[in-house]
Structure 1
Amino acid sequence: MPQATPLLRLLNVLLVPGTRTRKDPDAVYERLLQEVQRGRVPLGADDLAALDGLRLLLADHAANPDLSAFGWMSTQQQIRERLDNRAVVRDIQANHPEVRDEPVTAPVFVVGLPRTGTTVTYNLIARSPGNRGPKLWEMTNLGLPRPAAERERLIAQARKRFATVAKLSPAWAHLHPLIADSEEEDFMLRAHTEMYATWGPAPRYLDYVADADLTDDFLFLRDALQVMAAGEAPERWVLKHPMDLWRLPEILRAFPDARFVWTHRAPGSAVASGCSMAEATHTMYIKPGRIDLDRIGREWLGISAGGVERATRLREQLPDDAVIDVVYDDLLADPATVLRGVFDRLDLTWGATDDANLAKALDRTGHRPHVYSLERYGLDETQVAEAFRSYQIPASSLT
């Protein structure tokens, strides 16, 4: 079981005075909004409305008696960064209106539950010549392209920041290494995702986001990509986030020419992995001894199964060529054939760089397997099979 590190325990003691603000999360949210808009063009009513679900997210975590002092500080920081993204982009658009004309052509969204092969698929497509995915350092320092020296400085700062995260939670660093100059998930640019429930219980926010139309979120993602690569637009953007899987119509409203690569695997492993990820994050956000593993199991089974059911239903509304299926077992058995097939379907040319990228991705030297089980979270394969009864894994991605 992941344990709080000495550094995390020390921070939780030092940060206790700051927890007094939990009594009025609305005031905290308003303060964060004021901070990110200071010196910038004020956010309009539509932007404020699109962001307002984060107010509910903050209130949910503030109301959790098991939230640690570090958890409260980190919750505020994460929400501030999402608000800041919006303020930065709107200010740049006001001062550089030409960025709205930057091309974002036929982006590829790699979608699929955790541990279904999304990362290797995403990295291979994003790192192919002419393509690109948003990097961690630039999503946490959103702005126009920087000169090389400033870029290196910001990357170095990001490395230090995320090295600290690894010290706070080695389990999280093992599950999902945060690499400053590597591609990361698009929710770090957008406002909303069920992934925030990995911090701890957020029942009202999860109800909100389940019923929300996130078209605005993806329209803003487009705006952010235009800012990040102004004057340097790639031939094709490549994005990834598990919860994008059940947002296909909203994505298509923002990116009408988007393509999707959907990775598939027996859902038991995906659910157990998602639970393990939530537990590792809870270790940073929740007081020691207060993590409810059975609640994590129930919640992530519901999020995962409900999302896949929705995605399956929505897929029927899409053109046949909008979604490319990748079966995890095929990817494991013959990655070169599967990925070359994906490239063909996307009208991408596989070359020597892609061979080298694949060889690097398959090099497991020093890799420590991620061990997880359904039983740890009060689940079993029968429960998972029942929850995913409408989900059918495609026969093969090798044909």
Structure 2
Amino acid sequence: MPQATPLLRILNVLLAPGLRTRKDPDAVFEKLLQDAQSGRAVLDADELAALDSLRLLLADHAANPDLSGMGWQSTQDQIRARLTNRAVVRAAQASRPEVRDEPVTAPVFVVGLPRTGTTLTYNLIARHPGHRGPKLWEMDDLGLPRPAAERERLIAQARRKFANVARLSPAWGHLHPLIADSEEEDFMLRAHTEMFATWGPAPRYLDWVGSADLTEDYRFLRDALQVIAAGEAPDRWVLKHPMDLWRMPEILKAFPGARFVWTHRAPGAAVASGCSMAEATQAMYIKPGRIDLERIGREWLDISAGGVERAVGLREQLPDDAVIDVVYDDLMKDPETVVHGLFETLGLDWGATDDANLAAALDRSGHRPHAYTLERYGLDEAKVAQAFSAYKIPASVLH
């Protein structure tokens, strides 16, 4: 069970006076917006409209009486980062208009719920020669390509920053290690995702994002990738985020020709893992002893089961070859056969670099598994099976 560490307790005491600003979240948002634009670009009306629902996210968390001082500060930091991303990209496009012409050709999106093999699959495809995914340090300090010395400085800075996350919530180090110079999830660049509800209750924002069309958000993702690799565009970008699964038609509007690798697994483990991730996050955002585990269970089950059901229906709208299925049990049983077949379907030639990448991905030495159960969050396999009744795992490709 995640506990408040001594460092977190100290920070909560130091940051407690800042909780007073929750009384006026609109004023806080305006200050964040001002900070984001300062020295960068002034965002126009269309940009501000695309970001305006972040006000709702901020207000939802401001209304939570159980939010800690660290939680309120972190909420502001996360929203400021999304606003800053916009200003940075627009400034880069203004200073170097040719950035808008950088190729982003037929990217691959690895989609699937947590603990379904997404990370292994993502890393293998993203590390194939000529491919790449956005690195954690790049998304944490978005900008045009930097000289080597500055790049190393920013990587070291990000390494220190994310080491502190593990100190504040040690469970994060086992659930989702944050590695500064490794590929990370695309939601760090975009403005909107249901993942933000893992910080704590955000009912109005969840209602909004559940029915929102995020095409514009993915178009911005494309813009951000063009800035990150200006003049150094890879043959193919590779992206990953669980909530991309039920956004495939929106992604195709922003990235024509995109391919999706959908990883499948019996959903119980995915739901339990998602709940555990939310609990580990809320250990940093919510006052000690105030985390509602059953609420986490209800919300994560609704998000994941509802999203997968939506994805099943949306898949019928996609080109026949847009989605490639990977079954987790197959991947664990015979990873070499599965990934070789995946690469062949993607039109990729397997080589010595891929052999080394696969061996590294399968090396579990030093890995400390993180334990989680459905029952901790008021769920069981029967409830999960009922919620996922519309979802059928594809048949095994192994014989």
Range into which the TM-score falls when normalised by the shorter chain: over 0.9
Q: Which amino acid is 2:34 matched to?
A: Q
How far is the alpha carbon of 1:295 from its aligned partner?
A: 0.4
Q: Which residue matches 1:28?
A: 28
Tell me, in whole angstroms, the C-alpha distance in 2 between the residues paired with 1:163 and 1:310. 36
In the alignment, does 2:335 pair up with 1:335? yes
* Conservation of the 8 A alpha-carbon contact between 1:200 and 1:282: yes
Secondary structure, counterpart of 1:230 in structure 2: coil
Moved over 6 A (4+): none
In the alignment, does 2:275 pair up with 1:275? yes
Q: Which residue matches 1:86?
A: 86
Tell me, in whole angstroms, the C-alpha distance in 1 between the residues paired with 2:293 and 2:149. 46
Q: How many aligned positions are there?
A: 399
Q: How does 1:379-398 map to 2 (within 5 A)?
A: 379-398=379-398
What CA deviation, in whole Å up to 9, does each residue of 1:162-217 have, x standing for no partner? 11111111011211110000000000000000001110000000001001000001
Q: How does 1:346-361 map to 2 (within 5 A)?
A: 346-361=346-361
RMSD of aligned residue pairs (Cα, Å): 0.7
**203-212 or 361-370, which deviates more:** 361-370
Relative to structure 1, the CA distance from residue 386 to residue 348 in structure 2 (aligned partners, 3 Å threshold; closer, same or farther) is same
How far is the alpha carbon of 1:398 from its aligned partner?
A: 3.8
Tell me, in whole angstroms, the C-alpha distance in 2 between the residues paired with 1:124 and 1:371. 25
Q: Which residue matches 1:178?
A: 178
Tell me, in whole angstroms, the C-alpha distance in 2 between the residues paired with 1:317 and 1:351. 34
Tell me, in whole angstroms, the C-alpha distance in 2 between the residues paired with 1:75 and 1:116. 28
Q: Which residue matches 2:315?
A: 315
TM-score by length of 2: 0.99
Q: Which residue matches 1:57?
A: 57
Q: Which residue matches 2:296?
A: 296
How far is the alpha carbon of 1:19 from its aligned partner?
A: 1.1
* Conservation of the 8 A alpha-carbon contact between 1:25 and 1:58: yes
Tell me, in whole angstroms, the C-alpha distance in 2 between the residues paired with 1:392 and 1:124. 26
How far is the alpha carbon of 1:98 from its aligned partner?
A: 0.5
* Conservation of the 8 A alpha-carbon contact between 2:124 and 2:354: yes
* Conservation of the 8 A alpha-carbon contact between 1:308 and 1:391: yes
Secondary structure, counterpart of 2:234 in structure 1: coil
Q: Which residue matches 2:204?
A: 204
How far is the alpha carbon of 1:44 from its aligned partner?
A: 1.1
In the alignment, does 2:8 pair up with 1:8? yes
Q: Which residue matches 2:41?
A: 41
How far is the alpha carbon of 1:40 from its aligned partner?
A: 2.6
* Conservation of the 8 A alpha-carbon contact between 2:260 and 2:323: yes
What CA deviation, in whole Å up to 9, does each residue of 1:228-273 have, x standing for no partner? 0000000000000000000001000000110000000000110011
Tell me, in whole angstroms, the C-alpha distance in 2 between the residues paired with 1:224 and 1:100. 10
Tell me, in whole angstroms, the C-alpha distance in 2 between the residues paired with 1:393 and 1:187. 26
Secondary structure, counterpart of 1:238 in structure 2: strand
Tell me, in whole angstroms, the C-alpha distance in 2 between the residues paired with 1:270 and 1:217. 26
Tell me, in whole angstroms, the C-alpha distance in 2 between the residues paired with 1:65 and 1:174. 29
Q: Which residue matches 2:112?
A: 112
Q: Which amino acid is 2:361 matched to?
A: A
* Conservation of the 8 A alpha-carbon contact between 2:174 and 2:369: no
Q: Which residue matches 2:103?
A: 103
Tell me, in whole angstroms, the C-alpha distance in 1 between the residues paired with 2:64 and 2:292. 13
What CA deviation, in whole Å up to 9, does each residue of 1:311-333 have, x standing for no partner? 00000111110000000000000
In the alignment, does 2:233 pair up with 1:233? yes
How far is the alpha carbon of 1:157 from its aligned partner?
A: 0.4
Secondary structure, counterpart of 1:320 in structure 2: coil
* Conservation of the 8 A alpha-carbon contact between 2:245 and 2:307: yes
Q: Which amino acid is 1:154 matched to?
A: L
Tell me, in whole angstroms, the C-alpha distance in 1 between the residues paired with 2:235 and 2:41. 31
How far is the alpha carbon of 1:41 from its aligned partner?
A: 2.6
Secondary structure, counterpart of 1:15 in structure 2: helix
Secondary structure, counterpart of 1:321 in structure 2: coil
* Conservation of the 8 A alpha-carbon contact between 1:100 and 1:223: yes
Q: Which residue matches 1:222?
A: 222
* Conservation of the 8 A alpha-carbon contact between 1:325 and 1:397: no
In the alignment, does 2:264 pair up with 1:264? yes
Q: Which amino acid is 1:73 matched to?
A: Q
Tell me, in whole angstroms, the C-alpha distance in 2 between the residues paired with 1:388 and 1:160. 40
Tell me, in whole angstroms, the C-alpha distance in 2 between the residues paired with 1:14 and 1:231. 44
Q: Which amino acid is 2:300 matched to?
A: W
Secondary structure, counterpart of 1:64 in structure 2: coil
Q: How does 1:56-75 map to 2 (within 5 A)?
A: 56-75=56-75
**34-43 or 15-24, which deviates more:** 34-43
Secondary structure, counterpart of 1:178 in structure 2: coil
Secondary structure, counterpart of 1:324 in structure 2: strand
Gapped regions of structure 2 (runs ≥ 5): none
Tell me, in whole angstroms, the C-alpha distance in 2 between the residues paired with 1:245 and 1:270. 14
Q: Which amino acid is 1:37 matched to?
A: Q
Relative to structure 1, the CA distance from residue 398 to residue 226 in structure 2 (aligned partners, 3 Å threshold; closer, same or farther) is farther
Tell me, in whole angstroms, the C-alpha distance in 2 between the residues paired with 1:40 and 1:171. 36
In the alignment, does 2:373 pair up with 1:373? yes
Tell me, in whole angstroms, the C-alpha distance in 2 between the residues paired with 1:216 and 1:397. 36
TM-score by length of 1: 0.99
Tell me, in whole angstroms, the C-alpha distance in 2 between the residues paired with 1:262 and 1:397. 14
How far is the alpha carbon of 1:279 from its aligned partner?
A: 0.5
Q: Which residue matches 1:123?
A: 123
Q: Matched residues, percent identical?
A: 81
Tell me, in whole angstroms, the C-alpha distance in 1 between the residues paired with 2:376 and 2:165. 25
Gapped regions of structure 1 (runs ≥ 5): none
Tell me, in whole angstroms, the C-alpha distance in 1 between the residues paired with 2:275 and 2:268. 11
How far is the alpha carbon of 1:355 from its aligned partner?
A: 0.4
How far is the alpha carbon of 1:46 from its aligned partner?
A: 1.1
